[in-house]
């Protein structure tokens, strides 16, 4: 099980706003492992000084899997170097960031094929073979 | 009343996938400052929501609030305006002019009686009705006529919410705020000069999503965005706690990004979301650019003394709230307050 000791809290060279978030991620990983309940951290609601968001991103690193979603603008979904910790960035049609989240989960919900889309897709495929 | 399409129907007609819709809901939750766990409920509510009619009235204003809104990167604000709400009247954005424009306002009022939202930017002059008119109608008359059948009124910007610049001393036009005149309908104040675009869209989105109006503070501002001070969420707050302050705009402290309290920052008594929501697509906010918060979302901020005088000089606000700010800053804040008083004495001697 992941513990706080295994993920070092970075000594932020900036304003000290990154460390608490990394601690929150550690706690969220514990919760995921113990209760299977995912956590989403909305980074837009937290204070960041210049460079701190980039520092957080660099601290969490890049893992094995990344995906790009093209729906109402581009979204980038990337597992960080810490399994179960995902970095999500939503952009609008003008390529402006409209949401930035950390999801502590096994698979972000947005990666799953959705029933409503499957129904529409199945109908389209059915039409093709008529 | 015409049956307006639901947002779900609009998105489906546009070929937006469920994934796209979930993304829209996630950013909506963020805008409404709701926990991400609310996303499924938001998705359900949005799918079934019908486009509300919105009438936007512009009175004694500079159009900065509209400029701010139309530059919002919030979830497709252009989509919010053109798809999710029915913006039936807005001087700056509508194509119609003159009698046609006024006819559109009356038609929207008639068709959506009791259900439409009225957004107002700018204050209303009472000293002489002729100071500001639209299509020959005074601002106060247009406000009264339009609000009569509205569900609620949203005062956009500090002018509409509190009087703003037009209401500043000596207030030559006798400018008043929306809430000074509208007392029989809910009035939501979204102050700021201008307000944060995301906050404006959030109020509309909540109404669109849940058909409800947000919880408000004592000044009628949505708690979700005006519930904490700039200081509470400021990334420079740790420096305040450490007693590290910029003394001038070009000293080493300023260059190192230290706290701007001594340079007149009004963050400790200003309730707004700039420190987290930020401006220009999340690029920065005034303090991050090296300038103290002016307190533009607080009532009467123009008449509260110099922008560069520390709070501790006691001009900006009541002692009660300053005491709260000082308590939050503990001993170091007190030290800064003492320094501020010394500076005030210096001003007095020099003055």
pLDDT of residue B39: 80
Return the closest-CA partner of residue B191 out of B180, B201, B181, B199: B199
Reduce the DSSP state of residue A40 to 3 states and report it. strand
Give me A53's structure tokens. 């968001």
Do B202 and B89 share a domain, yes or no?
yes
Interface of A with B in 54-93 (CB under 8 A): 69, 71-72, 75, 90, 92-93
Q: What is the ipTM, given to two decimal places? A: 0.72
The answer to whether residue A6 scores a pLDDT higher than 60 is no
pLDDT of residue B294: 96
Chain A residues within 8 A of B281 when measuring between CB atoms: 96-97
Q: Would you call A15 an interface residue with chain B, using a CB distance cutoff of 8 Å?
A: yes
Smallest CA–CA distance from B77 into chain A, residue: A92
H-helix segments, B211-273: 223-226, 237-242, 252-255
In whole angstroms, give the CA distance from residue A7 to residue A22: 8
Structural domain including B173 reads 51-225
**CATH of the domain spanning A19-128:** 3.30.1370.140
Q: Establish if B83 belongs to a structural domain.
A: yes
Which of A49, A100, A101 has the highest number of chain B CBs within 10 A, making it the mutation to test binding with B? A49
Q: Establish if B120 belongs to a structural domain.
A: yes
pLDDT of residue A44: 81
Do B69 and B183 share a domain, yes or no?
yes
Chain B residues within 8 A of A44 when measuring between CB atoms: 30, 276-277, 282
Q: Establish if B42 belongs to a structural domain.
A: no
Q: Residue A3, CB half-sphere, CA atoms under 13 Å: how many?
A: 2
In whole angstroms, give the CA distance from residue B72 to residue B196: 8
H or E element at residue B286: none
Find the mean pLDDT for residues A6-22.
66
% residues pLDDT > 90 (chain A) = 56
Tens-place pLDDT, residues B322-336: 444 444 444 444 444
Q: Would you call B343 an interface residue with chain A, using a CB distance cutoff of 8 Å?
A: no
Q: Establish if B13 belongs to a structural domain.
A: no
**In angstroms, how far apart are the furthest CA atoms of chain A?**
63
- Domain CATH code at residue B96: 3.40.50.700
Q: Would you call A13 an interface residue with chain B, using a CB distance cutoff of 8 Å?
A: no
Domain positions in chain A are 19-128
In whole angstroms, give the CA distance from residue B165 to residue A89: 39
In whole angstroms, give the CA distance from residue B190 to residue B283: 21
Q: Would you call B70 an interface residue with chain A, using a CB distance cutoff of 8 Å?
A: no
Provide the shortest C-alpha distance from residue A112 to chain B (in Å).
Answer: 8
Provide the shortest C-alpha distance from residue A123 to chain B (in Å).
Answer: 14
- Domain CATH code at residue B248: 4.10.480.10
Do B202 and B252 share a domain, yes or no?
no
The answer to whether residue A97 scores a pLDDT higher than 80 is yes
Chain A residues within 8 A of B19 when measuring between CB atoms: 69, 71, 110, 114, 117
Do B213 and B277 share a domain, yes or no?
no
Q: Are residues A115 and B37, on separate chains, in Cβ contact within 8 Å?
A: no
H or E element at residue B318: none
Chain A residues within 8 A of B37 when measuring between CB atoms: 40
Q: Establish if B46 belongs to a structural domain.
A: no
Tens-place pLDDT, residues B155-197: 999 999 999 999 999 999 999 999 999 999 999 999 999 998 8
Q: Establish if B19 belongs to a structural domain.
A: no
Do B206 and B241 share a domain, yes or no?
no
Q: Would you call A6 an interface residue with chain B, using a CB distance cutoff of 8 Å?
A: no
Q: Establish if B189 belongs to a structural domain.
A: yes
Chain A residues within 8 A of B84 when measuring between CB atoms: none
- Number of compact structural domains in chain B: 2
Parallel/antiparallel/unpaired status of strands A74-79 and A85-91: antiparallel
Do B184 and B261 share a domain, yes or no?
no
Q: Would you call A95 an interface residue with chain B, using a CB distance cutoff of 8 Å?
A: no
- Where chain B has pLDDT below 70, the residues are 1-5, 7, 71-85, 314-351
Q: Are residues B74 and A98, on separate chains, in Cβ contact within 8 Å?
A: yes
Q: Would you call B334 an interface residue with chain A, using a CB distance cutoff of 8 Å?
A: no
In whole angstroms, give the CA distance from residue B196 to residue B279: 7
Interface of B with A in 160-199 (CB under 8 A): none
Among the residue ranges A77-81, A116-120, B194-198, B313-317, the one predicted with the least confidence is B313-317
pLDDT of residue B3: 64
pTM for this model (two decimals): 0.77
Bridge partners, residue B119, by sequence: B56, B154
Q: Would you call A16 an interface residue with chain B, using a CB distance cutoff of 8 Å?
A: yes
Do B172 and B278 share a domain, yes or no?
no
Q: Are residues B276 and A44, on separate chains, in Cβ contact within 8 Å?
A: yes
Q: Establish if B114 belongs to a structural domain.
A: yes
């Amino acid at each position: 099980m992941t513990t706080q000791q295994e993920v070092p809290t970075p000594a932020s060279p900036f304003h000290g706003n990154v460390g608490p978030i990394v601690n929150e991620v550690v706690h969220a990983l514990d919760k995921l492992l113990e209760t299977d309940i995912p956590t989403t951290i909305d980074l837009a609601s937290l204070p960041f000084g210049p460079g701190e968001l980039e520092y957080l991103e660099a601290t969490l690193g890049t893992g094995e899997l990344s995906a790009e979603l093209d729906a109402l603008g581009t979204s980038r979904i990337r597992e960080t170097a810490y399994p179960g910790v995902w970095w999500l960035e939503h952009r609008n049609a003008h390529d402006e960031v409209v949401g930035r989240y950390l999801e502590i989960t096994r698979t972000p919900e947005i990666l799953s094929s959705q029933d409503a889309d499957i129904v529409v897709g199945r109908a389209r495929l059915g039409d093709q073979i008529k | 009343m015409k049956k307006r399409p639901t947002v779900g129907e609009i998105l489906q007609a546009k070929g937006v996938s469920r994934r796209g819709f979930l993304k829209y809901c996630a950013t909506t939750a963020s805008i409404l400052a709701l926990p991400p766990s609310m996303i499924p409920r938001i998705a359900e509510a949005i799918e079934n929501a019908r486009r509300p009619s919105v009438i936007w009235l512009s009175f004694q204003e500079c159009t900065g609030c509209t400029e701010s809104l139309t530059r919002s990167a919030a979830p497709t604000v252009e989509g919010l305006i053109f798809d999710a709400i029915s913006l039936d009247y807005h001087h700056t954005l509508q194509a119609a002019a003159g009698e046609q424009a006024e006819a559109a306002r009356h038609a929207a009022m008639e068709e959506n009686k009791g259900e439409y939202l009225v957004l107002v930017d700018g204050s209303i002059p009472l000293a002489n009705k002729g100071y500001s008119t639209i299509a020959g109608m005074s601002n106060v008359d247009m406000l009264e006529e339009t609000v009569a059948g509205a569900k609620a009124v949203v005062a956009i910007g500090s002018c509409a919410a509190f009087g703003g610049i037009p209401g500043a001393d000596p207030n030559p036009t006798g400018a008043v705020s929306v809430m000074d005149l509208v007392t029989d309908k809910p009035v939501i104040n979204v102050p700021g000069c201008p307000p944060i675009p995301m906050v404006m869209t959030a109020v509309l989105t909540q109404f669109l999503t849940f058909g409800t109006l947000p919880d408000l503070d004592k000044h009628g501002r949505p708690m979700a965005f005006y519930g904490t001070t700039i200081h509470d969420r400021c990334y420079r707050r740790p420096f305040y706690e450490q007693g590290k302050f910029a003394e001038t705009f070009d000293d080493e402290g300023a260059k190192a990004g230290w706290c701007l309290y001594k340079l007149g920052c009004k963050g400790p008594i200003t309730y707004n979301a700039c420190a987290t929501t930020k401006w220009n697509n999340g690029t920065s906010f005034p303090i991050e650019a090296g300038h103290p918060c002016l307190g533009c979302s607080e009532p009467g901020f123009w008449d509260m003394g110099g922008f560069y005088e520390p709070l501790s000089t006691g001009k900006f606000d009541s002692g009660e709230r300053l005491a709260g700010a000082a308590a939050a800053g503990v001993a170091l804040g007190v030290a800064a307050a003492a320094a501020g008083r010394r500076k005030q004495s210096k001003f007095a001697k020099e003055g």
